[in-house]
Amino acid sequence: MTPGSELAADPVDAVTVRKLLPGKPRLLALGEPTHGENVLLELRNDLFRQLVELEGYRTIALESDCLAGLLVDDYVTSGTGTLDDVMDRGFSHEFGALAANRELVRWMRAYNNDRRRSEHLRFAGVDGPLEISGAASPRQALTALHSYLTTWVAADLLSCTAETLDRLLGADDRWTNPAAMMDSSRSVGQSPDATELRLLADDLTALLDAQSPHLIEASAPDDWERALLHGRTAVGLLRYHFWMADSSPSRTARLLGIRDSMMAANLLALAHRGPILVNAHNGHLQRPQSSMRWGGQAVEWWSAGAIVSAQLGDQYAFLATALGTIPHQGVDTPAPDTIEGLLYAQPQEQYVVDPRQLATVPAVLRSSPWYGYAPLDPAQVSSHDGIVFVKDVRQNRATDHERPSARASDG
């Protein structure tokens, strides 16, 4: 097509999405170019509800702490806890304060209320216990893994006691020191204690694998899945802390790559459970290699979507979301020679397009005046399975329980 001509634009619904794809993917990903905007999350909620009800998807996964997300899953499947509590403690990145996320959790609980457990809709966080300011202590993951193994495996097979783990872990605040993100010398990730913990985590996860025939038979399926999650997370966190203590030029690329590989491992594990829907930043879900500038240095790494796509092939599908304006963040009408400018010129407020319509359109990368918003890269458009466009993003409206996130950028 040529700039200025009208696109074939369709409603954002399950029928449209299904027509874009050659089959029903096991993992269907919906990206977003910025965090914290309820209009994007409300669109996600509507689409995911339809895909659950019409296409049989049974897990909804979000870019949030995978361990904290267990609280949300317990709530939506069995009613454990309260909605206020799980929104407060079950999300990272301040995502629990967003009205649309609260509504999603409320709807998932209502959906499951009168259904058999085998028909339940499950929730999962897929991010590691990580924030832009640093990483969590590995205590929760390591101690939960050790406790599970202690319950089901002979004591003489365990490589350490709970007391040994506690001694090596020490105070949690030495792991979570925010100064370590910018100053590698402030990290404990390469200390003797951390080095020994990495070996023990490796031993414990190896034991989990070696004893899997017995463990799968003896323990409940959910307990087995959670033990695997705790093992992955413990190993990933200790690896992340190790590279936080590194001072080489590859430090940032390593950290970004480890985070996305942890997300990918969680997504692949969930895909074994059945068809899943995931919502995260476009940058975590795209197929091409990711890149950014950090401290004046160009950094490249492979995203979770790239890793999952390489392993699942056509069982992975990715819809990227693009937007026109975010007036309250200074993101104004896009230039007409950008992908967003072309999409903005169409009359619809929200719609889906087939990226093949844009494959031959000459376009430049949009320049964003706000660090929390990432425009679509024209060179990557052909790798997407669909593009969801939202014309204008208005400022969130909040209530006492539903406060918008103050930090929208943690892509």
For residue 328, pLDDT over 80 is answered with yes
The larger pLDDT score, comparing residue 362 to residue 405, is at 362
Give 214's Cβ-side CA count (13 Å radius).
11
pLDDT of residue 274: 92
- pLDDT on residue 359: 82
411 vs 73, residue with greater confidence: 73
Closest CA to 366 of 351, 353, 377: 377
pLDDT of residue 397: 54
Q: Between 410 and 63, name the one with better pLDDT.
A: 63
The residue among 5 and 342 whose pLDDT is bigger is 342
Say what the pLDDT of residue 278 is.
98
> Per the structure block, which two tokens stand in for 197?
């913990």
pLDDT tens readout for residues 161-188: 999 999 999 999 999 999 999 999 999 9
pLDDT tens digit sequence for 230-252? 999 999 999 999 999 999 999 99
**For position 6, what pLDDT does the model report?**
76
At 400 the pLDDT is 34
pLDDT band at 5 (very low <50, low <70, confident <90, very high): low
- The pLDDT value given to residue 407: 31
% of the chain residues with pLDDT over 70: 95
Give 352's pLDDT tier (boundaries 50, 70, 90): very high
Residue 402 has pLDDT above 60, yes or no: no
User: How far lies 121's CA from each of 53, 56, 125, in Å?
Assistant: 10, 10, 14
Question: Among the listed ranges 131-140, 187-196, 210-219, which one has the minimum average pLDDT value?
Answer: 131-140
Question: What mean pLDDT is reported for the chain?
Answer: 93
396 or 246: whose pLDDT is higher? 246
Whole-number Å distance between alpha carbons of 215 and 323 = 47
Averaged pLDDT, 333-341: 96
Work out the pLDDT band at 129, boundaries 50, 70, 90.
very high
Q: Is the pLDDT of residue 411 over 60?
A: no
User: pTM for the whole thing?
Assistant: 0.94
**For residues 74 and 72, what is the distance between their CA atoms, to the nearest angstrom?**
5
Q: How much is the average pLDDT of 217-227?
A: 98
For residues 369 and 379, the answer to whether their CB atoms sit within 8 Å is no
Residue 1: pLDDT over 70: no
Task: Write down the domain spans for the chain.
Answer: 133-249
pLDDT, residue 293, reads 81
Q: Which residue type sits at 10?
A: D
What confidence tens digit (pLDDT) does each residue in 58-82 have?
A: 999 999 999 999 999 999 999 999 9
Round to whole Å and give the CA distance between 31 and 303.
Answer: 12
3-state SS, one letter per residue, for the chain: CCCCCCCCCECCCHHHHHHHCCCCCCEEEEEECCCCCHHHHHHHHHHHHHHHHHHCCCEEEEEEECCCHHHHHHHHHHCCCCHHHHHHHCCCCCHHHCHHHHHHHHHHHHHHCCCCHHHCCEEEEEECCEECCEECCCHHHHHHHHHHHHHHCCHHHCCCCHHHHHHHHCCHHHCCCHHHHCCHHHCCCCCHHHHHHHHHHHHHHHHHHHCHHHHHHHCCHHHHHHHHHHHHHHHHHHHHHHHHCCCCCCHHHHHHHHHHHHHHHHHHHHHHHCCEEEEEEHHHHCCCCEEEEECCEEEEECCHHHHHHHHHHHHEEEEEEEEEEEHHHCECCCCCCEHHHHHHCCCCCEEEECHHHHCCCCCECCCCCCCCCCCCCHHHHHHCCEEEEEEECCCCCCCCCCCCCCCCCCC
Confidence of residue 315 (pLDDT cuts 50, 70, 90): very high
pLDDT exceeds 80 at position 404? no
